[in-house]
Chains A and B, each alone.
Chain A
Amino acid sequence: QVQLKESGPGLVQPSQTLSLTCTVSGFSLTSYNVHWVRQPPGKGLEWMGRMRYNGDTSYNSALKSRLSISRDTSKNQVFLKMNSLQTDDTGTYYCTRGMGARDYFDYWGQGVMVTVSS
C-alpha cells in the first residue's frame, strides 16, 4: 500500500539548516510527484514545494531563496533542505503524494514536528 514517512531532527537551532527525508513505498517517484507542506502549531497549512516525477522542482516563492528539494529514486526518498531557520519555521512538516493532472494530495505522511530553538 501507499505510504510516506518523514524523518529528521526534532530540534534545530536558529540560523541553522533543516534536513528532512520523506521515504515512500507503494509507488514510484518516477511516476508520481511528491510535495512538502508545513503547518505551524495551531495554524493552517502552507505549501512549500514539489519534486516532480521527472526530477523538476517548484518552490513557494516566499521560501524559494532558502529551500531545496532533491531525491534519490534508488532509495525511494525525497529530501527537503531549508537554511537560515527562524523560530517561525517551527511546525509540523508533511510530505504528500500528488495525484491527477495538477496534483491534489491523496496520501500524506504522518508528519514530523520541527522546533527551531536555541
Chain B
Amino acid sequence: IQLTQSPSLLSASVGDRVTLSCKGSQNINNYLAWYQQKLGEAPKLLIYKTNSLQTGIPSRFSGSGSGTDYTLTISSLHSEDLATYYCYQYNNGWTFGGGTKLELK
C-alpha cells in the first residue's frame, strides 16, 4: 500500500487549526498511525488506529478517517508542534507516507 501525504509543506501560525492529509492506494481499514519527527530526533507516536491518542500526547492532536483517506488535525498550533509529520499504515505490510513539514508562517 502506498501512502500520499498532502501538502508536503505547510506554513501556519501559532493558534491556527491545522489539517494534514494522508491517502492510501488501497483500503487501510483504519490501521493508520501518525508520527511527529523533530530535527535530529526519532519519530514519536501521536495517534494509532486512526483516532486513538497515544498516552502523554496533548489533546489538541486528533485523527480521523476511513477507507483510504485519513486526517491529522492540530486544533490550535503551538510553536513546539513545528516538525515533520508522517502517516503510517499497518493494514497490509508496513509503509510510511512521504511526510508533511509544518513550518511557521
Contact = CB atoms under 8 A, between A and B. Distances in A.
The dominant DSSP class at the B interface is loop
Interface string B60-88: 00000000000000000000000000101
Nearest to A4: B42
B28 to A, nearest CB: 11
Given A44-B86, A100-B49, A108 B43 contact: yes
B66 to A, nearest CB: 17
B51 to A, nearest CB: 13
Given A44-B99, A47-B96, A100 B48 contact: yes
A12 to B, nearest CB: 21
Contacts, number: 52
Contact of B54 (A46, A50, A106, A110): A106
Given A103-B90, A104-B88, A110 B42 contact: yes
A47 B96 CA distance: 7
Interface size bracket, A side: 10 to 19
B98 A44 contact: yes
A65 to B, nearest CB: 17
Interface string B83-105: 00010101101111111000000
Contacts of B96: 37, 44-47
Interface of B: 31, 33, 35, 37, 42-45, 48-49, 54, 86, 88, 90-91, 93-99
Interface of A: 35, 37, 44-47, 50, 94, 99-100, 102-106, 108-111
13 contacts: A44-B98, A44-B99, A45-B43, A45-B96, A102-B31, A104-B31, A104-B33, A104-B45, A104-B90, A105-B43, A105-B45, A105-B88, A108-B44
Which 6 pairs across A and B sit closest by C-beta, in order of nearness? A108-B42, A45-B96, A47-B94, A104-B33, A104-B48, A102-B90
